[in-house]
Structure 1
Amino acid sequence: MTLTIEGLTGGYGNLTVLKDINFTVPAGKIVGLIGLNGAGKSTTIKHIIGLLTPQSGTISLDGKTLHDDPTGFRADLAYVPETPVLYPELTLREHLEMTIMAYDLDATVAWQDADNMLKMFRLDNKLDWFPAKFSKGMQQKVMIVAAFMTHAQLFIIDEPFTGLDPLAVHDLLDLVTAKKEQGASILMSTHILATAQQYADEFVLIKAGKVRATGDLPSLKQQFDLQDGSLDDIYMKMTEEQ
């Protein structure tokens, strides 16, 4: 399922942050969303998931939009935010039960998938814990399990490595790669450029609310005239531009 963003202009109220954003996240691809703090990455993500309404432009999943088919659009989308959002009065088990209901999943199959991830992230003995007992990294793992137990075809992952230990980062990247191999689209915003270079198939570089460049690494090297450069080198050159 391909995410297509065309002519997206938007922001917060009268404050325009994004200016004519255009890019795609093809099915079966990991696309890295790269840019400085304040460049517009999180604002772009908030428009995609429906927390913000575009001033103009369209956001579609294989032609399906949030405006025309909100239920269908949301069913195909899973989101891992930079800051975990958990309900303090619900246990881990109840968070996952809520996800099953929200996505209308088969409970038996969903729990099998969840159990595998809970064991992977060493949360399988904490199902009756409340969020207050979890560290930031553990809360992030709960968000990851809830997202990846769905049948979503588009995964939006915003700075997913914050607070995760190295083993958990490795496990998350395994989950992302598995979803990609199943044909899902993944948009991943991250400042960990070495990891992005290793795992992402394509990149969207955002600067000051505009798309500065898109493409795979060889294409970016050509666009920035850095034939022997890394993604880090390209990023630094972009930030130095006037």
Structure 2
Amino acid sequence: MEILRVKLERAGYARGREILRDVAFSLRSGEMVGLIGPNGAGKSTAIKAILGFLGHVEGRVHLKEGCRYGYIPEHPVFYEDLTVWEHLELAASVWGMPRAAFEGRALELLERFQLKEARHHLPRSLSKGMQQKLMIVAGFLLQPDLYVVDEPFIGLDPRATKTLLQLLEEERGRGAAVLLSTHVLDTAEKICDSFLLLHQGRCVAQGSLNRLRRQIGREGASLMDCFEAFTSV
């Protein structure tokens, strides 16, 4: 089942200042697509266009009817005076999550990311890695149909990275789709079904790793090899 279909003809922060051109792809239930590209390629801009955060978009973003999505941003965003637990309560209340279901899910996620003892702390008192884990917990709380995840591995310790990868696989097994923007190409190569490679605001390649290999004419090439071949021009 198709969860998301994107066709961006032009997108940017204002008309005449377009950053993206001709970016099109789709995501199906249980599929994970890796959004990759060098710094400044337009990955975060593409995510903002999909989520409706940009000032100027020409094109169309279609979500499955009734689709709920969870967004995990690259940089943690908090309310200064809310505790970790209160942030999660707020997220649950927005979607009308039943109290019993919320408490069970929230405590499970906090335990898995070793945040349970910090649940009554203010986020500003936490390390950057712990703040990032809170963003992940909030994103996974509601078990949406679509996850949009922007550079989630930055600042995570190995144990938290492993927990995140396990959660992504669990959610895919449940039928959720995942759009994952990352620079960690060795990890993306192992977990993503296909890739969308942006360079200078355009999609220069997309498809499975085998398809990318065929396009550069290198059987057995790594995702990094493909990345370098498509972005070295």
TM-score (norm 1): 0.92
1:201 corresponds to which of 193, 200, 221: 193
Q: Residue 40 of structure 1 corresponds to which residue in structure 2? A: 42
Letter in 1 for 2:222: S
Q: Residue 54 of structure 2 corresponds to which residue in structure 1? A: 52
For the aligned residue pairs, the C-alpha RMSD in angstroms reads 1.2
Q: Residue 61 of structure 1 corresponds to which residue in structure 2? A: 63
Q: Give the conservation status (yes or no) of the 8 Å contact 1:202–1:216.
A: yes
CA distance in structure 1 between the aligned counterparts of 2:22 and 2:169, rounded to whole angstroms: 30
Matched, 1:233 2:225: yes
CA distance in structure 2 between the aligned counterparts of 1:140 and 1:217, rounded to whole angstroms: 29
Matched, 1:133 2:125: yes
Q: Residue 215 of structure 1 corresponds to which residue in structure 2? A: 207
Q: Residue 192 of structure 1 corresponds to which residue in structure 2? A: 184
Could you give the per-residue CA deviations for residues 112-142 of structure 1, whole angstroms, max 9, x where no partner exists? Answer: 1111111111111111100111111100111
Q: Residue 5 of structure 1 corresponds to which residue in structure 2? A: 6
Letter in 2 for 1:18: L
Q: Residue 97 of structure 2 corresponds to which residue in structure 1? A: 105
Other structure's SS at 1:88 match: coil
TM-score (norm 2): 0.96
Other structure's SS at 1:226 match: coil
* 1:151-190 equivalence runs, <5 A: 151-190=143-182
Letter in 2 for 1:23: F
What is the aligned-residue identity percentage?
Answer: 39
Q: Which runs of 5+ in 1 are unaligned?
A: 65-71
4+ residue runs over 6 A deviation: none
Paired residues, what number? 231
Other structure's SS at 1:99 match: helix
Per-residue deviation, 1:151:
3.0
Per-residue deviation, 1:53:
4.3
Could you give the per-residue CA deviations for residues 16-35 of structure 1, whole angstroms, max 9, x where no partner exists? Answer: 10002111122111110010
Q: Which runs of 5+ in 2 are unaligned?
A: none
Per-residue deviation, 1:8:
3.6
2:112 corresponds to which of 120, 134, 138: 120
CA distance in structure 2 between the aligned counterparts of 1:32 and 1:114, rounded to whole angstroms: 27
Other structure's SS at 2:116 match: coil
Q: Give the conservation status (yes or no) of the 8 Å contact 1:20–1:57.
A: no
